[in-house]
Amino acid sequence: MDQDEIRRRQRSRAVIMAVLLGLFVVLVYAITIAKMGLYSA
Amino acid sequence: MTTSANSIPVAVTADWQDFLALTKPRVMTLVVFTGLCGLLVAPVSLPPALAFTAILCIALGAGAAAALNMWYEADLDALMKRTASRPLPAGRMDRQTALHFGVGLSFFSVILMGIATNWFAAAILAVSILFYVMVYTIWLKRRTPQNIVIGGAAGAFPPLIGWAAATGDVATLPILLFALIFLWTPPHFWALSLFVRSDYAAAGVPMLPVVAGPRATRIQILLYTLPMGAAAIAPWPLGLAGAIYGLAASGLSLGFLVLALRVLANKATEPAGMKPEKQLFAFSIVYLFALFGALVVDHLL
């Protein structure tokens, strides 16, 4: 496997990881808001 | 890990699609659907964000179990045509990466389930992952033709987890749904293993058609179809579901029984002559989707 292909795969994995981490932050925020709603109800 | 002249680790070859393939996304769809139905028919409704997280955790837990299954079975997968192109046997990923991915995803899914919903649902999720990996994959699969009979329990947990995520406990209906998938698994897998028997034989996996032959397998398919149908219809007379579900379950189970009888009547030993087995395998997937869909529709109307 050539260097360019390795770089391409590393880059695509890094982008996917960044997107997933961003979505995880949003999910934790949404869970927190929903839990606050449950406890205050 | 080896290093190239430019200090780029050359063992890092797996693409993100390989990680996705490691989670068996097609199998996951059925797991997610049955888990979602378990959650939707529960008497308590969760806020959308928590319901979404519960289903996400079920999906991630199933993906983690699949990754650990592929980590352990890389040698078997390499011997079977059906599985030889998976990331590990095809050499696109090293085993340690698959192990780390599977273990990490397991912990992540269980902890997130516990935090978002409740620790009872998280515990059932953990048990389902451990059951699939330890009991089915490591202990039973290579040792006994009863592998998928007992191991099938692992795939039966999702409706139980969905229900538990919403209510914090279990009841008769989710237990019946568990029983339904548990009893559905043997005829579903045995229909498949009849027409891919040579693959299992080549890999030395003691599936029932390999060990006992097609005739005994066809009888067993019919024998499991009867209690499966009973478990499918049971929620109706027990008052746990209405007529919409009851009629759908009766019709679908009758269709399953007819196909199982056609399988029993078939004498073919080569895959080319196994049209009834292929039809039963395809129908069995539709059967489970339609049953759970009918249950949700019945519950909502």
The ipTM (two decimal places) reads 0.87
And the tokens for B284? 């069995």
B147-185 pLDDT per residue, tens: 888 888 888 999 999 999 999 999 999 999 999 999 999
User: Is residue B55 scored above 80 in pLDDT?
Assistant: yes
| Minimal Cβ distance to B16: which of A3, A16, A27 | A16
**What separation in angstroms does the CA of B246 have from each of B57, B134, B237, B243?**
30, 36, 8, 5
B70-126 pLDDT per residue, tens: 999 888 888 888 888 889 998 888 899 999 999 999 999 999 999 999 999 999 999
DSSP B93-135: S-HHHHHHHHHHHHHHHHHHHHHHS-HHHHHHHHHHHHIIIII
Instruction: Count how many pairs of residues, chain A against chain B, have C-beta atoms within 8 Å.
Output: 43
The average confidence (pLDDT) of chain B is 91
Which residue of B7, B50, B57 to mutate against A (max A Cβ within 10 Å)? B50
pLDDT at position A1 is 66
What is the SS3 assignment for B158?
helix
Q: What share of chain B has pLDDT > 70, as a percent? A: 96
What is the SS3 assignment for A12?
helix
CB contact under 8 A, A27 and B50: no
Q: Contact at 8 Å (CB) between B194 and B150?
A: no
| Minimal Cβ distance to B4: which of A3, A10, A34 | A3
A16 chain-B contacts, CB cut-off 8 A = 16
B207-251 pLDDT per residue, tens: 898 888 899 999 999 999 999 999 999 999 999 999 999 999 999
- The reported pTM is 0.88
